[in-house]
Amino acid sequence: MPTRYFLCHREDLEVGAMRAFRVGGVQIVLCRTRDAFHALRDLCPHHGAHLSQGRLTGTNLPSAVGELVYGRDGEVLRCPRHGWEIDVLSGRSLHDPERKRVKVYRVVEQGDDVLVEMDAR
């Protein structure tokens, strides 16, 4: 049965910002996109860097040869080392989404409170 943990108030985190938390023994990163809050394990599946020390940004989307099309602004978490890109909505990497991904946690908003659901530890 998952337990809900209080992380912060809505106004504590602006759209486009992120913040690291430790919940029990687990390090997570909370990201605020234009529409919602998203919580992910704060650990890059590549070399284990803290994603919260990277950038919450957009990226160049798959495009025709020679074209650069920017999009998904604020929905891509870029690792501070090596630059792997993680989709904050799914936790999947953009380059190898089936195999390289990080765990995502359900975020619940209750009034002004932002809570994360995690299994009790």
| Min dist. Cβ of residue 99 to another protein (A) | 11
Residue range at the interface with another protein (CB under 8 A); choices 7-15, 24-32, 78-86, 108-116: 78-86
95, amino acid identity = H
Residue closer to another protein (CB basis): 65 or 120: 65
Could you tell me which stretch among 10-18, 30-38, 79-87, 102-110 binds another protein (CB under 8 A)? 79-87
2 binding another protein? (CB under 8 A): no
Q: Which stretch binds another protein (CB under 8 A): 16-24, 30-38, 89-97, 108-116?
A: 89-97
Q: Residue 69 and residue 61: Cα distance in Å, rounded?
A: 6
Q: Of the candidates 59, 90, 101, 117, which one interacts with another protein according to CB under 8 A?
A: 59
Report the C-alpha gap between 57 and 9 in whole angstroms: 22
At CA 104, angle to CA 8 and CA 91, rounded to 5? 120
Q: What is the DSSP string of 12-70?
A: GS-TT-EEEEEETTEEEEEEE-SS-EEEEESS-TTT---GGGSEEEEEEPS-STT---E
Minimum CB–partner distance for residue 89 and another protein (Å) = 17
Which residues of the chain form contacts with another protein (CB under 8 A)? Answer: 46, 59-69, 82-85, 93-96, 100
